Amino acid sequence: MSARGHLFFWVGAVGIFCLLIWALAPVLLPFVVGMAIAYLLDPVVDRLDRRGISRPYGTALIMAGAVLALLIVGLALFPLLREQVIALGQALPDLIDRAQAAGRSLVDSVMAELTRQQRTAVSTGLNEVGKSAVTMLGDLASRLWSGGLVVVDFVSIMLITPVVVFYLLRDWEKIIVAIDGWLPRPYAPTIREQARLIDRALAGFVRGQLGVCLISGTLYALGWTLAGLNFGLIIGLVAGFLAFIPYVGGLVGLSLAMIVGVGEVGFDWVHLGSIFGVYLVVQGLEGTFIQPRLVGRSVGLHDLWIVFALLAGGALFGFLGVLLAVPAAAAIGVLVRFGLQRYLASRFYRGDTDHAG
């Protein structure tokens, strides 16, 4: 097959794959979640297998342990979390109204110090910013709703995902061998090497970022609780959960904390300063110590590339796209680096010709 034929084949294969994901997105969610969990747990099953525990028994042992751990954590934390979530849901509308009233009072006091022309310019600018923000939030909510991020088939995830995880963990090695057997023989070594690089990048990011989420969420929850913020525990856990997306978790948590803080005591700059101080401290620890240690600098996935991939995946495929964004980003990043290396080693880049002189 010619080079053009190879190009058409791979472009067509990728196009058909994306089309199938788009068409089957409503039913793929529990399978994708199951694949992600199986991917994370596979190294543990491999270790058990090397110690003489077969994959079926090792898989059953791991899943039983995971269920037991979830039950213990759920029984220990569920009452407290349930109480805070219900209380926050009931208090949030009133807190938002109070924060808006305090904000309007602050703006009015500032506007009183301005000239009439300056007040007109500031008022026009604030109106435009408000309209843009409302439009953006409405569009985002519409995309998330239509993409299935708000309404998720909880029953299908709870029933199907454990089955998917069990069979994938049990048969992981067989699946890898089968896929390897489908590779075109002349290019199999190159494809295997790129797959190993993708696995290294993906494993380094996903497993490390899970640790970042856990540590950051704990620090936010403790810090804001000690700062005297009501609902600091649940807001900190939300920030930690969203910390899987770089910068987003902290900013969302800070926004919620500020709204609650202003709604509770108004513009008490000492109180708000302590809330913001907790955010700065956790962000500093996360950027200089936690993330470099857990994720590392050799992953090869830049934060901006990950943010773009998550937003693009969510816009194209909804919640399923968000789940697939990081694997896709890892694969594309590795393939782009491979293509760039081949280009830099090519005769076209060096300017070589077939003719002497």
| pLDDT at site 223 | 93
What whole-number percentage of the chain has pLDDT above 90?
8
What tens digit of pLDDT does each residue of 121-174 get? 766 766 666 556 556 555 544 554 444 444 445 566 777 888 888 998 889 888
What are the CA-CA distances from residue 252 to residues 11, 16, 279 (Å)?
38, 36, 11
Cα–Cα distance measured from residue 336 to residue 258, given in angstroms and rounded to the nearest whole number? 41
pLDDT in tens, 237-256: 889 888 877 677 888 889 88
261 burial level (CB within 10 Å; 0-12, 13-18, 19+): buried
Please say whether the beta carbons of 172 and 34 come within 8 A: no
Q: Residues 343, 174: contact at Cβ < 8 Å?
A: no
pTM over 0.75: no
CA-based nearest residue to 264, from 98, 77, 20, 88? 98
CA–CA gap between residue 357 and residue 355 (Å, rounded): 6
- Give the span between the Cα atoms of 292 and 232, in whole angstroms: 26
- With contact defined as beta carbons under 8 Å apart, do 186 and 209 qualify? no
Taking all residues of the chain, what is their mean pLDDT, rounded to a whole number?
79
Single out the residue of 231, 238, 226, 282 nearest to residue 259, CA to CA.
231
